[in-house]
Amino acid sequence: MFSTSFTWNDFLFLLQGAWVTLLLTLGAMAIGTVAGVLCGLLRALLPRATLPLSWLLDVFRSVPLLIQFVLFNSLKSIAGLNWSAFTVACIVLGIYATAFCTEIVRSGVLAVPFNLRRASRSLGLTYLQDLRYIVLPIATRVAFPGWLNLVLSVMKDTALVMWIGIVELLRASQTIVTRIQEPLLVLCIAGLIYYVMSLVVARLGARLETRWQEND
């Protein structure tokens, strides 16, 4: 007969960790999206002038995220910054998301046909009007699937914040495993929670894309 030491309170503890995971994802994507849109537009419209920015973002894309967490947390201590671990996690994840979101936005802008932009200018639209009414709407639809995948990726990458002392979903599950010594059950439940969160985000994204298609 199946028996377990896993209790309802343990499940609530996992849900608390899942809530922290969602908050980290939300904070990181807020930073990454705003900065990524600005950097992506600059990279697409001024490619040569923004080469140094591209090289800097390549560093954050190339260096493993765990190393970035450890280094930033150490630099925070050296600089004497009184930032919480949650703030550090949001900033590091936000910069990491920015590095990828920049390329997603840049690709979306460059996917807009040049002939279409030329036609809009010939109709009397100014440069800014061309960006607002022609480039950005098309680029947004092109870039959205990539941005959605980035959200799901960042949600999973939040598991690395356990190394700087934050109790998110994975850290919560490890705490329970240490106490009740049932790793298979606990990790399966944690994995199911990750799956449900990812499924909700993916379904919301798919619904938004469907509405865009219906409005065409």
Domain range list for the chain:
27-166, 168-216
Alpha-carbon gap, residue 36 to 95, rounded angstroms: 9
**Tokens 């550090």 sit on residue:** 88
Mapping DSSP to helix (H, G, I), strand (E, B) and coil, where does residue 165 land? coil
Q: Over the stretch 153-174, which tens digit does the pLDDT of each residue have?
A: 999 999 999 888 899 999 999 9
Alpha-carbon gap, residue 114 to 85, rounded angstroms: 45
Let me know if domain 27-166 sits in CATH 1.10.10.10: no
Given a cut of 70, whether residue 141 has pLDDT beyond it is yes
Q: Over the stretch 177-212, which tens digit does the pLDDT of each residue have?
A: 999 889 999 999 999 999 999 999 999 998 988 887
Task: List CB contacts of 92: < 8 A, sequence separation 6 or more.
Answer: 65, 68, 69, 72
- Cα separations (Å) of 24 from 71, 107, 181? 19, 26, 28
Give me the amino acid identity at 176: I
Residue 132's pLDDT is: 84
Alpha-carbon gap, residue 135 to 95, rounded angstroms: 25
Task: List CB contacts of 166: < 8 A, sequence separation 6 or more.
Answer: 20, 24, 85, 86, 89
Whether the CB-CB separation of 190 and 14 falls below 8 Å is answered with yes
Its pTM stands at 0.91
Mapping DSSP to helix (H, G, I), strand (E, B) and coil, where does residue 100 land? helix
**Tokens 């934050």 sit on residue:** 166
Sign of the CA dihedral 129, 134, 135, 141?
positive
Q: Over the stretch 76-108, which tens digit does the pLDDT of each residue have?
A: 888 888 888 899 999 999 999 999 999 999 999
Residue 211's pLDDT is: 83
Residue 101's pLDDT is: 96
Residue 215's pLDDT is: 67
